[in-house]
Every structure is written in C-alpha cells, then in structure tokens.
Amino acid sequence: MAKKTTPRRTVRQSPKGGGKTARLKGRKAQAEADSEAAHGELPQWTKAEVDEAFRRFAAANPTPRGELQSVNPFTLLIAVVLSAQATDAGVNKATPALFKLADTPEKMAKLGEARVRSLIKTIGLYRTKAKNVIALSRQLIAEHGGKVPHDREALEALPGVGRKTANVVLNNAFGEPTIAVDTHVFRVGNRTGLAVGKTPLDVEMKLLEVVPERYRLHAHHWLILHGRYVCVARRPLCEKCLIADLCKWPGKTVNAAPESA
C-alpha cells in the first residue's frame, strides 16, 4: 500500500498580491535559504519591485497603526520603552492601570519607582524599566518642560531610549518618516532580500535608501505587521503573503495561479 502523504497547503494570492500561489520547501531547504539570507547572498530588488511591494501593502492596509496602546506622546514613549524584549500584547495588559495613574512626566515622577515597578511586574526586565521610566520622566521635567522632545538626539539621551524607540516616537507622535527596525522588520528585510544588513541600523539605512518617499511614513508599520503575522520566524506563511512573487527568499516556491482557480 502506498504511503499516505499530507499535501502542502497552497492558497491563491489575491490580484493585489500578484495572482500567484506560494508554498514552503522542505525544512532543509528553508534552513539553507535562511543561511543565504543571513549572509547577504540574495538578489537585489529592482526599484519597480520595491514600489510594487509597498503599493500592495498600502492597498491592503492604507493607514496602518502600531499596536502599543497610548494616549499621548509621553505614554507612547513609555510604552515603547517597556516593550523592549517584551510583546506589545504583554505591555498593553500592564499599561492601562499605569497610564490611568500617570499620563504625564510629573505624575509619573510623583508615582515613584516602587509603585511603577509593582504596576509593570508582568513585563520582562520590569525592575530596570521602572528605574528608567522614573529617570526619563524626571529628565523630561528638568530639561524639556515636561514635554516629549521632537528631536532624535534629545530622545536618545533619555534613559532607556535607543534609536528604535526614538524612531517610533518620531514617527507615531510627530509624523516623521522614520523607520524603526525591530526583530520583525530585521527578519523581513533580510529574509526577503528587500533590505539586507548585519545590524538593525544597516537594515534601517537600506530601507531609507530603497523605500519610495511616498510610502516611507507607514513603511515600518507594514513591515512589522508583515513580520508579526505572515513572515513569522519559524514557519513563514508564504501561501498568504502579499509579496511572495517578489520576495527573493529561496525557501519557498511561487507558481502561476491555475487558470481554473
């Protein structure tokens, strides 16, 4: 009797996704493909391909938004600081109670480190983060009149704030076309070949170089969401990918959609 096999799933892309079907190759081929991507060996995208990819992202989700909950620039800053090495969902469970008590630097500083620590203890590295939250609140009061600065250098000078956090705040709070590179954007950039780099800064600089200006404001949101829900780390959902036919990752195959589909 012939051995029973389970067919691979293939789902036809919508016309906006190129009218293609995609499926994963075997685990060994995927591992080899990830190795190629990690070493920057994937083919470069053309300008037309980059433009088409972001056209599709924009058509599918015209006004993407970050998933961290906040009520003003200050609470956005705090939420992003708390999200380091933590999930947005986990941060969103802890911050409503915190922001109800303290939605300004003055209120946060008055709340104190011990109280902040007790409110965010479900978040990873909560002790260090509570210390940074109080320190940056006091620095905002002392140096910026209690306002979140619209300036990268000033933001990065705050305790617990790095380039990624500054980029998120500049983009979400002030409408700057910055591109924040987290683990999802880093993975998508390298795996697809869209923006290959050894470090998050490398990927950020490459994205700023290749992403058309008209798409730059929302680019990191589209890429974060794509990495979080489609181009996931362990088993990318290539069969649902809007840009499968453009992606250079050799761990998947893309075929023309059958005429009868």
Question: What amino acid positions are annotated as catalytic residues?
Answer: 164, 182
What residue type is assigned to position 159 of the chain? P
Reported for 49-54, long-range contacts at CB under 8 A and 24+ positions apart, including other chains, are 49/246, 50/194, 50/210, 50/211, 50/212, 51/212, 52/246, 53/194, 53/242, 53/243, 53/246, 54/211, 54/212, 54/215, 54/219, 54/222
Per-residue burial over 120-142, b if 16 or more Cβ lie within 10 Å, else e, is beebeebeebbebbbebbebbbe
Q: Are 113 and 209 in contact (CB under 8 A)?
A: no
Task: Report the sign of the C-alpha dihedral through residues 30, 34, 36, 40, in that order.
Answer: positive
